[in-house]
A and B are shown apart, each in its own frame.
Chain A
Amino acid sequence: ANRGGKQKKGNVTSEQEEEEQPLQAVLVADSFNRRFFPISKDQPRALLPLGNVAMIDYTLEFLTSTGVQETFVFCCWMSNKIKDHLLKSKWCRPTSPNVVHIITSDLYRSLGDVLRDVDAKNLVRNDFILVYGDVVSNIDVSQALQEHRHRRKVDKNISVMTMVFKESSPGHKSRCEEDDVIVAMDSKSKRVLHYQKTQGLKKLQFPMNIFQHGSDEFEIRHDLLDCHISICSPQVAELFTDNFDYQTRNDFVRGILVNEEILGNQIHLYVTQDGYGARVSNLQMYDSVSSDMVRRWVYPLTPEANFTDQQGQGCTHSRHNVYRGAEVSLGHGSQMEENVLIGRDTSIGANCHISNSVIGNNCTIGDNVVLDRAHMWNNVHISSNVEIHQSVVCDGAVVKEAVRLNKQCVLAYNVVIGPNLSLPEGTVVSMHHPEEEEEDDDDEFLSDDQEVGHTFNPAEVGPEGKGYIWKASMNDTEDEELAQCLWGRPLSKQNVCKVVSFQLEVLGTLQRGLEENIVCDNLVLEINSLKYAYNITLKEVMQILTRVVLEYPFQQQGTQLTTLQYTGSLLPLLKTWSPVFKNYIKRAQDHLDCLSAVEELFLEQDTHQTAMVKVLMKMYQLEILEEEAILKWFSTGATNDKSRQLRKNQGLQKFIQWLKEAEDESSEEGE
């Protein structure tokens, strides 16, 4: 590892050591994941512009304003670019109150590696602040720091880390779905008792023993936003060295909490109500942090403050949060509605509507352009009649005439799109071919089986377009990292995905079972394990199972089957799989659920409604369904016209009649 910019200024340190040690910070200017791919293929994440200022500048300003005097910046991916940027910035001027040391190495693979290196090089002497290079914050951590130091003094170094959280209720747009945490803490001492990422789970478990010791007041909080700012004692670095398996802060926190009894280390929490702190961990967060910044939540880190002291970077702020840089020209009839930031030397044509957008320096925008929640970086060219909604357009990209970018599109560096094209929601276009990276990296998660030729596809990027579409791989949800998902995906959508993929898996299992003659018990086992893998309720399993079985003939032989053919192929199948059904359909409610699934399917396949009676009959004969359940379903289940219509089916009426008679008979026999 080479150390750049390591000219320690003797006079500065000696001056400040008179009272106490200078406050140090470790800034990790690497995310160690690929959430911003393919954008971060050209530019490291810390240098991506947020409100026309590189993200790392926000982090450094935050550190400097809290009184940090020495910062170690650790970079790995594209370390040269970060280094160049920092050397040019005001942080490396001799007058800077915050001495920045840049440490680069290609060997860092995680936060753990960085902190082990901190320990190996013996860089920190005292409590330090640990942040990522993409944290935007104006929180005054001096209060937290004081509490931390006080705890360390009183409790003989038991507390090793204080994590800074911001209060924000669930549903806030700046809450990152992946960082959603549930924390159990001691109300008095602010000690963390339990820390768990929710990851969309509905049920969470807390070990009982956390409530048994010590204090009598606990808080279980879900209204916390992780700012990714932590105050660490030097022990943290040592602990990372001792435990080679710690990769992330999450590992560390969990490790400490699990081993609390043995090692006696504790973690504390600092919850702030004012101030702002968030980490730009995906594009969803990028979008919301950027809009928060434009709406002045991060005051005094506002665009017009020009805190980086760069020449010509200043802009003015006027009503409705409209910021304009120097030499901005606006065409006749164009409107900057609200929350708009426009960089210097940008020219905008006539009759444009711009709202909630950030536009970089040296951009040209044509006439009749509509921009809403667009994030355009520098040197972007937009032709006339373009519409952009909630998308990111990187440096040097060109959007030709009459292009429409729907929500959550990303145009990476130097891409050309159009003319006359509408990109569907969530399209990612990059000049890098999605496959080229498999060559330079082996631990790849992008399992794209689709072959894309190494020429630009005019159907995808337009006749004059340049760039390759990156698949927004929706099927990779098993990949728990959600690695490809640039925009953090809302949870509900994920749920739908889950059900669909579960259905496919069940179908596959049954198919295989039929081909390879697998015993039904094993099929049940497989379906059960799938159920756990996808976290699906029993009710859903049954409905999906019913649906898959009933659709099976269509799947195999196409949808043009006659009713006779359909029943002919379905009835033997029902017989084969009846043990599977019986395993899932046990309680009375299960019967009704199963019947409603049958009904739902036949409502969709209305040409085959006559087959329904046969199916029900078969299921009754196979003792999958009980007569009482069928009768109950028939009498009460009708909720809308269609299902009432269905119940008027002659065959069905007869079947029910027959069932009733059979019941009467059996009851008579019983007497």
Chain B
Amino acid sequence: MPGADKEADLTERIEAFLADLKRGGCGTGPIRGSGETARETTALLRKVTAQARWSSAGDLMEIIRKEGRRMTAAQPSETTVGNMVLRVLKIIREEYARSRGSSEETDQQESLHKLLTSGGLSDENFRQHYVHLKANVIEAINELLTELEGTTDNIAMQALEHIHSNEVIMTVGRSRTVEAFLKDAARKRKFHVIVAECAPFCQGHEMATNLSKASIETTVIADAAIFAVMSRVNKVIIGTQTVLANGGLRAVNGTHTVALAARHHSTPLIVCAPMFKLSPQFPNEEDTFHKFVSPHEVLPFTEGEILSKVNVHCPVFDYVPPELITLFISNIGGNAPSYIYRLMSELYHPEDHDL
């Protein structure tokens, strides 16, 4: 039976993806960039939509939710996965509404009046069957995939608006987006980049090598020198792992130091973050917020006796509060941190926030 075979193939793909997520990131951050993770998740969800058995949008959403829960549980710190699940759920809602004929657009606008008058959030049950729903959903997911493909380029395109000649720019660690951003600007302008090495993983070294290959004048500094060097810096441009719902960041550790130093010297702090990094999560003391990896990088295993006497921790992320951030540059343009909540409500449906 080909159907069963397909389904087996699908579960195998999902399992492999889950296992990858679980093993992913032995310290130095995920092996793949988050962009790639986003694309892979979306492609997998498209496969689920195409191959799973469902008759109505409600069924499909249930399936996607179920898989999404497993995927997010596999690596809670990898929020991109959850974000993509939410995007797909939103797509299904929209397509269903379009098939039904009502325009989701007007439905979506949360006017104060509407908030007051409507009882529950939505009484839709998504039970109706539409022939073209599947094709439409897949079509929309394909559009999402195309959007994801172009995010880095879209962000890099804006580089010339922000980087001027002879500026000194500081960045921390390695971000693929920032790398593309700087390289794009370097085609037209000459500027100097200072890279904080970002111990203990020292991704900054790799970043600096890549930048100098693109013939950008690059200096690597130790993390301890960030504050000292900040006075010379015109602009700080960093990447992030997640943009939180309040406009704060969950970024590689060392970022908070940079942000505070930048605030002290009133240096603008620009965050390059594609839209798919926007997460409906708030920065509370939730257990999954942090990620601790093997303390090997902090105190090597070879140290011997001392290890039985001390506790060594190696956290991966920093929380950067929104008030330290000047501007977000996403693939749809620049935004202030205070505008993030608005983008959030456009991207995700409020009912989906927790899977």
Given contacts A97-B19, A300-B25, contact A171 B305 (CB under 8 A): yes
In the complex, whether A420 has a CB less than 8 A from a CB of chain B is: no
Q: Which of A170, A274, A305, A320 contacts B296 (CB 8 A)?
A: A274
Q: Which of A167, A170, A171 contacts B301 (CB 8 A)?
A: A167
Q: How far apart are the CA atoms of A97 and B304 in the complex, in Å?
A: 37
Q: Which of A94, A140, A168, A296 contacts B8 (CB 8 A)?
A: A94
Interface pair A169/B302, CB less than 8 Å apart: yes
Interface pair B311/A316, CB less than 8 Å apart: no
Q: How far is the CB of A320 from chain B (nearest CB, A)?
A: 7
Given contacts A138-B26, A297-B295, contact A276 B19 (CB under 8 A): no
Q: How far apart are the CA atoms of A94 and B11 in the complex, in Å?
A: 10
Interface pair B23/A300, CB less than 8 Å apart: yes
Write out the residue numbers on chain B whose beta carbons fall within 8 Å of the beta carbon of A168.
301-302, 304
Given contacts A97-B16, A171-B304, A223-B302, contact A276 B294 (CB under 8 A): yes
In the complex, whether B15 has a CB less than 8 A from a CB of chain A is: yes
Interface pair A173/B302, CB less than 8 Å apart: no
What 1/0 mask marks residues of chain B from 78 to 102 whose CB sits below 8 Å from any chain A CB? 0000000000000000000000000
In the complex, whether A378 has a CB less than 8 A from a CB of chain B is: no
Interface pair A299/B27, CB less than 8 Å apart: yes
Q: How far apart are the CA atoms of A171 and B73 in the complex, in Å?
A: 38
Interface pair B302/A167, CB less than 8 Å apart: yes
Q: How far apart are the CA atoms of A93 and B301 in the complex, in Å?
A: 35
Interface pair A273/B308, CB less than 8 Å apart: no
Write out the residue numbers on chain A whose beta carbons fall within 8 Å of the beta carbon of B23.
65, 300
Interface residues of B in 291-316 (CB under 8 A from A): 292-296, 300-305, 307-308, 311-314
Q: How far is the CB of B303 from chain A (nearest CB, A)?
A: 7
In the complex, whether A317 has a CB less than 8 A from a CB of chain B is: yes
In the complex, whether B22 has a CB less than 8 A from a CB of chain A is: yes
Q: How far is the CB of A94 from chain B (nearest CB, A)?
A: 7
Write out the residue numbers on chain A whose beta carbons fall within 8 Å of the beta carbon of B300.
273
What 1/0 mask marks residues of chain A from 299 to 321 whose CB sits below 8 Å from any chain B CB? 11000011100000010111111
Interface pair A276/B301, CB less than 8 Å apart: yes
Q: Which of B24, B26, B288, B307 contacts A172 (CB 8 A)?
A: B307
Q: How far apart are the CA atoms of A295 and B227 in the complex, in Å?
A: 32
Interface pair A300/B307, CB less than 8 Å apart: no
Interface pair A166/B301, CB less than 8 Å apart: yes
Interface pair A273/B302, CB less than 8 Å apart: yes
Interface residues of A in 85-114 (CB under 8 A from B): 93-97
Main secondary structure of the interface of B (DSSP, over half): helix
Which residue on B lies nearest to A338, using beta carbons?
B311
In the complex, whether A397 has a CB less than 8 A from a CB of chain B is: no
Q: How far apart are the CA atoms of A168 and B19 in the complex, in Å?
A: 29
In the complex, whether A27 has a CB less than 8 A from a CB of chain B is: no
Q: How far is the CB of B354 from chain A (nearest CB, A)?
A: 16
Given contacts A65-B23, A97-B16, A317-B292, contact A295 B311 (CB under 8 A): yes
Interface centre among B27, B290, B294, B300, by most A CB within 10 Å?
B294
Write out the residue numbers on chain A whose beta carbons fall within 8 Å of the beta carbon of B296.
274, 276, 297
In the complex, whether A362 has a CB less than 8 A from a CB of chain B is: no
In the complex, whether A430 has a CB less than 8 A from a CB of chain B is: no
Q: How far apart are the CA atoms of A95 and B8 in the complex, in Å?
A: 7
Q: How far apart are the CA atoms of A140 and B28 in the complex, in Å?
A: 15
Interface pair A295/B295, CB less than 8 Å apart: yes
Write out the residue numbers on chain A whose beta carbons fall within 8 Å of the beta carbon of B22.
300, 305, 307
Write out the residue numbers on chain A whose beta carbons fall within 8 Å of the beta carbon of B25.
300
Q: How far apart are the CA atoms of A140 and B16 in the complex, in Å?
A: 18
What 1/0 mask marks residues of chain A from 362 to 392 whose CB sits below 8 Å from any chain B CB? 0000000000000000000000000000000
Q: How far is the CB of A339 from chain B (nearest CB, A)?
A: 7
Given contacts A97-B19, A316-B288, contact A297 B302 (CB under 8 A): no
Q: How far is the CB of A378 from chain B (nearest CB, A)?
A: 23
Interface pair A172/B295, CB less than 8 Å apart: no
Q: How far is the CB of B225 from chain A (nearest CB, A)?
A: 27
Write out the residue numbers on chain A whose beta carbons fall within 8 Å of the beta carbon of B123.
none
Interface pair A318/B287, CB less than 8 Å apart: yes
Q: How far apart are the CA atoms of A64 and B23 in the complex, in Å?
A: 11
Interface pair B26/A169, CB less than 8 Å apart: no
Write out the residue numbers on chain B whose beta carbons fall within 8 Å of the beta carbon of A94.
8
What 1/0 mask marks residues of chain A from 137 to 162 whose CB sits below 8 Å from any chain B CB? 01010000000000000000000000
Q: How far apart are the CA atoms of A339 and B310 in the complex, in Å?
A: 12
Interface pair A321/B311, CB less than 8 Å apart: yes
Write out the residue numbers on chain B whose beta carbons fall within 8 Å of the beta carbon of A97.
15-16, 19
Q: Which of A93, A300, A306, A339 contacts B311 (CB 8 A)?
A: A339
Interface pair A296/B308, CB less than 8 Å apart: no
Q: How far is the CB of B310 from chain A (nearest CB, A)?
A: 10
Interface residues of A in 117-144 (CB under 8 A from B): 138, 140
Write out the residue numbers on chain B whose beta carbons fall within 8 Å of the beta carbon of A173.
305, 307-308
Write out the residue numbers on chain A whose beta carbons fall within 8 Å of the beta carbon of B27.
299
Write out the residue numbers on chain A whose beta carbons fall within 8 Å of the beta carbon of B19.
64-65, 97
Q: How far is the CB of A337 from chain B (nearest CB, A)?
A: 10
Given contacts A297-B294, A338-B311, contact A314 B305 (CB under 8 A): no
What 1/0 mask marks residues of chain B from 9 to 21 whose CB sits below 8 Å from any chain A CB? 0011001100100
Write out the residue numbers on chain A whose beta carbons fall within 8 Å of the beta carbon of B303.
169, 172
Write out the residue numbers on chain A whose beta carbons fall within 8 Å of the beta carbon of B294.
138, 276, 296-299
Q: How far apart are the CA atoms of A276 and B307 in the complex, in Å?
A: 14
Q: How far apart are the CA atoms of A306 and B22 in the complex, in Å?
A: 9
Interface pair B287/A317, CB less than 8 Å apart: yes
Write out the residue numbers on chain B whose beta carbons fall within 8 Å of the beta carbon of A96.
15
Interface residues of B in 1-52 (CB under 8 A from A): 8, 11-12, 15-16, 19, 22-27
Interface residues of A in 275-306 (CB under 8 A from B): 276, 288, 295-300, 305-306
Write out the residue numbers on chain A whose beta carbons fall within 8 Å of the beta carbon of B313.
321
Which residue on A lies nearest to B314, using beta carbons?
A296
Q: How far is the CB of A229 from chain B (nearest CB, A)?
A: 16
Q: How far is the CB of B72 from chain A (nearest CB, A)?
A: 12
Interface pair B311/A320, CB less than 8 Å apart: yes
Q: Which of B16, B24, B288, B301 contacts A297 (CB 8 A)?
A: B301
Write out the residue numbers on chain B whose beta carbons fall within 8 Å of the beta carbon of A300.
22-26, 293
Which residue on B lies nearest to A320, using beta carbons?
B311
Interface pair B302/A314, CB less than 8 Å apart: no
Write out the residue numbers on chain A whose beta carbons fall within 8 Å of the beta carbon of B8.
94-95
Interface residues of B in 76-131 (CB under 8 A from A): none
Q: How far apart are the CA atoms of A300 and B18 in the complex, in Å?
A: 13
Q: How far is the CB of A99 from chain B (nearest CB, A)?
A: 13
Write out the residue numbers on chain B whose beta carbons fall within 8 Å of the beta carbon of A319.
290
Q: How far is the CB of A184 from chain B (nearest CB, A)?
A: 20
Q: How far is the CB of B201 from chain A (nearest CB, A)?
A: 12
Write out the residue numbers on chain B whose beta carbons fall within 8 Å of the beta carbon of A65.
19, 23
Q: How far apart are the CA atoms of A133 and B127 in the complex, in Å?
A: 50
What 1/0 mask marks residues of chain B from 166 to 207 whose CB sits below 8 Å from any chain A CB? 000000000000000000000000000000000000000000
Which residue on A lies nearest to B297, using beta carbons?
A274
Which residue on B lies nearest to A175, using beta carbons?
B304
What 1/0 mask marks residues of chain A from 323 to 353 whose CB sits below 8 Å from any chain B CB? 0000000000000001100000000000000
Interface residues of A in 545-563 (CB under 8 A from B): none
Q: How far is the CB of B284 from chain A (nearest CB, A)?
A: 12
Q: How far apart are the CA atoms of A93 and B303 in the complex, in Å?
A: 41
Closest 6 CB pairs of A and B: A169-B304, A299-B294, A316-B287, A171-B305, A173-B308, A95-B15
Pairs across A and B, CB under 8 Å, 5 listed: A172-B302, A299-B27, A300-B25, A317-B292, A321-B311
Q: A297-B301, A299-B293 are in contact. List 4 more A-B contacts (CB 8 A).
A: A138-B294, A140-B26, A296-B293, A297-B296
Interface positions of A (Cβ within 8 A of B): 64-65, 93-97, 138, 140, 166-173, 223, 273-274, 276, 288, 295-300, 305-307, 314, 316-321, 338-339
Interface positions of B (Cβ within 8 A of A): 8, 11-12, 15-16, 19, 22-27, 73, 287-288, 290, 292-296, 300-305, 307-308, 311-314
